[in-house]
Amino acid sequence: MKLFQNKMLQSLPSGVYRMSLFWFIVFSAHLVLASSLVEFQDNDNPRQKQEGMQLNLYHVKGLDSSQTSTSPFSFSDMITKDEERVRFLHSRLTNKESVRNSATTDKLRGGPSLVSTTPLKSGLSIGSGNYYVKIGLGTPAKYFSMIVDTGSSLSWLQCQPCVIYCHVQVDPIFTPSTSKTYKALPCSSSQCSSLKSSTLNAPGCSNATGACVYKASYGDTSFSIGYLSQDVLTLTPSEAPSSGFVYGCGQDNQGLFGRSSGIIGLANDKISMLGQLSKKYGNAFSYCLPSSFSAPNSSSLSGFLSIGASSLASSPYKFTPLVKNQKIPSLYFLDLTTITVAGKPLGVSASSYNVPTIIDSGTVITRLPVAVYNALKKSFVLIMSKKYAQAPGFSILDTCFKGSVKEMSTVPEIQIIFRGGAGLELKAHNSLVEIEKGTTCLAIAASSNPISIIGNYQQQTFKVAYDVANFKIGFAPGGCQ
């Protein structure tokens, strides 16, 4: 896949080049976009359910290997990306925003009974430790692999002509001129005015066209800058399209996005995909993340993302209240109360759990306060070391053993319990990860900051329901079928 850059900016000195990224887009003339895309043919077989349409989702190591990467995505890469994500979330909590730097500014950023469900896939095939869906955009619809992010408000994807830079992606890059319904939103639009509260970054305005310019960033190294746009959104080929979907059409997209086309924002914000579709489907969504690695049965190889209030009734969820956080109201906070190992609570005080706890689809490895993690490690090692020899740690994972997950029959169950008793009962495939052949580690780490994050590795094969309208989250075990 070709990388696209603007030749004029390439000729600038590196320092001037980086400082000019944002303002080049703001003051550049509107370019005529004339490239064409090859339309994605969706091969997933839909299955009908009472509440709507549900499509199969396959992990890259399972049934759907059509997008397997040509270059390896290592566990080390995943850890590096994960650490960036955690630092970003903590910076949001402490209000350490870098909005002054245009190249690396921070971004985060019931109803009807209808529901729409779409395939949700592991991102390992596209160079990410997260999960992606195929969504359609434009008229006629073109389909793109988009990372699902409950911590992001604004959705965006890479767009031609990639004025500054587009990373390699598995799908053809979207060309707005091929869509009969595409339009760039003006600076005077209400959607442009709302960007500051949704992304923490003030929008820019193109002097040449009057188009609204967004800035979305995810830490010190990842960002997207481009035109705020509007077009028709198609979740599945069988679903009626949704007109007027607001998203970012990225012209400079750099950082930790793997080979995805962009981000689908599912944060609790009016500009997120959830917020925009809430009137049509209801202010709720649910998902089941397929297992990234070995799991006890084949059902863990497929997952789903459902948008709509009626998806909450499809499983016997046990709910816990969401916790309001005034600093970041768009994120999903929970009240973590207890962790047990083999049925026994950790020997820590209740106050040890009393830190902000975020459930996040964009973080892979769960982070716990140091005191809680140390107690968990002690209890876990006490049981595991009776049968398995300990091994050297790997990066942030310092509780490791010799052997593979498949061979480990004596693995104590870890329970992560939230207020009201809802929680996650972690079996071996949720608590252990084989980082290399013959070395397996506990897939939980100590947090270097006063924050807890429930990562997507621990959420795998659980159905997780976000009843945003009633401000609660539910969990249901049993796989993704």
Q: 157 vs 240, which has greater pLDDT? A: 157
The per-residue pLDDT of the chain, averaged, comes to 79
Give the domains, in start order, of the chain with CATH numbers: 112-281 (2.40.70.10), 315-476 (2.40.70.10)
Q: Quickly count helices (H) and strands (E) in the chain.
A: 10, 32
pLDDT digits (tens, 9 = 90+) for 335-384: 999 999 999 999 999 999 999 999 999 889 999 999 999 999 999 999 99
- Alpha-carbon distance of 232 to 136, in angstroms, equals 8
Q: Which helix (H) or strand (E) holds 439?
A: strand 439-442
Q: 390 vs 86, which has greater pLDDT? A: 390
Task: Please give the pLDDT value at position 127.
Answer: 42
Evaluate whether 142 touches 136 at the Cβ level (below 8 Å): yes
pLDDT digits (tens, 9 = 90+) for 291-348: 865 444 444 456 899 998 888 887 899 999 999 998 899 999 999 999 999 999 999 9
Structure tokens at 451: 């924050």
Task: Name the least confident of 1-5, 166-170, 392-396.
Answer: 1-5
Structure tokens at 19: 């400082």
Nearest of 172, 210, 208, 219 to residue 188 by alpha carbon: 210
DSSP alpha helices (H): ranges in 125-264?
190-193, 195-199
Rounded to an integer, the average pLDDT of 150-166 is: 95
Evaluate whether 106 touches 97 at the Cβ level (below 8 Å): yes
Determine the Cα angle at 447 with ends 446 and 451, to 5°.
135
DSSP string of 218-238, one letter each residue: -SSS-EEEEEEEEEEEESSTT
Rounded to an integer, the average pLDDT of 431-449 is: 93
Q: What whole-number percentage of the chain has pLDDT above 70?
A: 74
Question: Which pTM does this prediction carry?
Answer: 0.81
In this model, does residue 23 exceed pLDDT 80? no
Task: Please give the pLDDT value at position 292.
Answer: 66
Structure tokens at 355: 């830190």
Structure tokens at 254: 């750099």
Rounded to an integer, the average pLDDT of 180-199 is: 95
Evaluate whether 207 touches 192 at the Cβ level (below 8 Å): no
Length of the chain measured in residues: 481
Task: Please give the pLDDT value at position 234.
Answer: 93
Active-site residues: which are they? 149, 360
Task: Name the least confident of 44-48, 297-301, 435-439, 462-466.
Answer: 44-48
**Residue 47 burial (10 A CB sphere; 0-12, 13-18, 19+):** exposed
Nearest of 389, 369, 444, 388 to residue 414 by alpha carbon: 444
Amino acid sitting at position 114: L
pLDDT digits (tens, 9 = 90+) for 25-68: 333 333 222 222 222 223 343 333 334 334 333 332 332 334 43
In this model, does residue 120 exceed pLDDT 70? no
In this model, does residue 269 exceed pLDDT 60? yes
- Alpha-carbon distance of 319 to 332, in angstroms, equals 14
pLDDT band at 238 (very low <50, low <70, confident <90, very high): confident
